Amino acid sequence: MRAIRVQATGGPEVLELAEADRPAPGPGELLVEVAASGVNFIDTYQRSGVYSMPLPFTPGSEGAGTVAEAGPDVAGFTAGDRVAWAMTPGSYAEYAVVPAAKAVRIPEGLEDRTAAAAALQGMTAHYLIASTHPVREGETALVHAAAGGMGLLLTQLIKARGGRVIGTVSTDEKERLARGAGADEIIRYTEADVAEGVRELTGGRGVDVVYDGVGKDTFDASLASLRPRGTLALFGAASGPVPPVDPQRLNSAGSVFLTRPSLASYLLDRDELDWRAGEVFGAIADGRLDIRIGGSYPLADARKAHEDLEGRRTTGKLLLLP
Ligand code: NDP
């Protein structure tokens, strides 16, 4: 089968198309013929070595496809079932081995590509707005990179809960998309002072919660945009990691809460996985959540997909199609 292999960590050029043996599913595992693989920032962190991986490896943390073979001791899935998954490595390939414990059935009527695009980022947006800080009606949230894969999902889900969204974006096109997803206000964070803009838009109070996946470049403004006892959910580092923080800064910012959450801690068991996946797929089915696929690339163009994502040139979700 064809797969993207990383022999040594580095820039996007280390993503090479190679012939690899088709893997065999072990106990509790599924061999899945991949229909679409989601491209995520975590793939770039693993490729570059920010997150360490055993070398060589096949990148890709989410996908969707059809079960080709169920390994020993698998209950609940058989060949022919359509499944999606997140947070399991190796989806940049024609076939991937997925633990059955991490696979969710794709409901009828939902396309494989949409399921692949919604699995990792959809469940992440769900835990951020429903668990990390359960957004209540009338609350205001600041969402950075509001036209990105995560940003468009967060914006729509916050609006569906009756919240108000102040989004940050860098271009006209991204502003149009974020407003289309429901953002009430937009701040061009490449030109304007974010904390100042937020104070103006909230009558001096600050926002209840900041969802910050940009990291290094936005962290200070995020902290300065919170209301007293507000929450900063720092969930990523698209611009680079945030340097160490003195806890005293949380005091000065108004006794605020800082958390650095990850999806794995919010998918602790089968019930939690089924709940989050069910809510995300349900929101797509009833039209509350529109999954915007901003770019689809052939598997061989994984390098280009990473270059575009890291180069800030993309909107919505990116897919690789084997
Ligand atoms: P996006 O589609 O949001 O792409 C990143 C966006 O960030 C860019 O388009 C850009 O938007 C903005 N950005 C600002 N500064 C930079 C910079 N220096 N370089 C690149 N981009 C920049 O990506 P994803 O939706 O895939 O991921 C967003 C974040 O969510 C990532 O940090 C990722 O790690 C995180 N994440 C975290 C998870 C978790 O559980 N913790 C799970 C899933 C994702 P603009 O041009 O408008 O500024």
* Residue 39 falls inside a structural domain: yes
What is the Cα–Cα distance from 257 to 280, expressed in whole angstroms?
Answer: 26
Total structural domains within the chain: 2
pLDDT band with cut points at 50, 70 and 90 for residue 188: very high
* Residue 309 falls inside a structural domain: yes
pLDDT band with cut points at 50, 70 and 90 for residue 137: very high
Statement to judge: residues 200 and 288 lie in one domain? no
Residue closest via CA to ligand 1's atom 16 equals 239
Last residue of a domain, one of 260, 290, 310: 260
Statement to judge: residues 55 and 163 lie in one domain? no
Statement to judge: residues 185 and 215 lie in one domain? yes
Report which residue type is found at 115.
Answer: A
What is the Cα–Cα distance from 309 to 55, expressed in whole angstroms?
Answer: 23
Statement to judge: residues 146 and 237 lie in one domain? yes
Q: Each residue of 210-245: pLDDT tens digit?
A: 999 999 999 999 999 999 999 999 999 999 999 999
Closest CA to 101 of 113, 114, 87, 90: 87
Statement to judge: residues 206 and 250 lie in one domain? yes
Give, for ligand 1, the residue of 37, 214, 307 to mutate: max count of ligand atoms closer than 8 Å to Cβ.
Answer: 214
Longest dimension (CA), the chain: 60
Q: What's the Cα-to-Cα distance from 87 to each of 138, 197, 213, rounded to whole Å? A: 33, 36, 17
**pLDDT of amino acid 316:** 96
Alpha carbon dihedral 100, 153, 233, 62, in 10-degree steps, equals: 30
What is the Cα–Cα distance from 13 to 116, expressed in whole angstroms?
Answer: 24
**Average pLDDT over every residue of 281-293:** 96
pLDDT band with cut points at 50, 70 and 90 for residue 155: very high
Q: Each residue of 6-52: pLDDT tens digit?
A: 999 999 999 999 999 999 999 999 999 999 999 999 999 999 999 99
**Which residue range(s) make up the domain with 243?**
137-260
Using DSSP bridges, classify how beta strands 164-169 and 140-143 pair: parallel, antiparallel or unpaired: parallel
**Average pLDDT over every residue of 141-164:** 98
**pLDDT of amino acid 272:** 98
**pLDDT of amino acid 164:** 98
What is the Cα–Cα distance from 182 to 179, expressed in whole angstroms?
Answer: 5
pLDDT band with cut points at 50, 70 and 90 for residue 142: very high
Statement to judge: residues 146 and 239 lie in one domain? yes
* Residue 68 falls inside a structural domain: yes
Q: Each residue of 52-101: pLDDT tens digit?
A: 999 999 999 999 999 999 999 999 999 999 999 999 999 999 999 999 99
Statement to judge: residues 247 and 286 lie in one domain? no
* Residue 127 falls inside a structural domain: no
Statement to judge: residues 187 and 101 lie in one domain? no
* Residue 269 falls inside a structural domain: no
Statement to judge: residues 242 and 293 lie in one domain? no
Q: Which long-range contacts (CB under 8 A, 24 or more apart) does 81-85 make?
A: 81/105, 82/106, 82/112, 82/115, 83/30, 83/32, 84/112, 84/115, 84/116, 84/118, 84/119, 84/277, 85/32, 85/119
**pLDDT of amino acid 14:** 98
What is the position in ligand 1's atom list of the atom closest to the CA of 147? Answer: 47
Residue closest via CA to ligand 1's atom 3 equals 148
41 lines ligand 1 (CB under 6 A): yes
Half-sphere exposure of 5 (CA within 13 A, CB side): 11
What is the Cα–Cα distance from 89 to 276, expressed in whole angstroms?
Answer: 20
Statement to judge: residues 44 and 18 lie in one domain? yes
What is the Cα–Cα distance from 52 to 77, expressed in whole angstroms?
Answer: 31
pTM summary value:
0.97
Do residues 297 and 321 lie in contact, with contact meaning Cβ atoms separated by under 8 Å? yes
Residue closest via CA to ligand 1's atom 39 equals 262
Do residues 109 and 36 lie in contact, with contact meaning Cβ atoms separated by under 8 Å? no
At 65, give phi and psi (nearest 5°): 175, -160
* Residue 132 falls inside a structural domain: no
The CATH number given to whatever domain includes residue 15 is 3.90.180.10
Strand-pair partners of 105 = 83
Strand-pair partners of 57 = 6
What is the Cα–Cα distance from 250 to 272, expressed in whole angstroms?
Answer: 31
Task: Return mean pLDDT, the chain.
Answer: 97
Residue closest via CA to ligand 1's atom 2 equals 148
The CATH number given to whatever domain includes residue 223 is 3.40.50.720
Statement to judge: residues 153 and 224 lie in one domain? yes
**pLDDT of amino acid 209:** 99
Do residues 242 and 216 lie in contact, with contact meaning Cβ atoms separated by under 8 Å? yes
Statement to judge: residues 57 and 144 lie in one domain? no
* Residue 243 falls inside a structural domain: yes
214 lines ligand 1 (CB under 6 A): yes
38 lines ligand 1 (CB under 6 A): no
What is the Cα–Cα distance from 322 to 313, expressed in whole angstroms?
Answer: 22
**pLDDT of amino acid 292:** 97
**pLDDT of amino acid 71:** 97
Report how far ligand 1's centroid is from the alpha carbon of 274 (Å). 26
∠ Cα 130 134 137 (to 5°): 115
What is the Cα–Cα distance from 9 to 267, expressed in whole angstroms?
Answer: 28
* Residue 164 falls inside a structural domain: yes
Which H or E run contains 319? Answer: strand 317-321
**Average pLDDT over every residue of 246-267:** 98
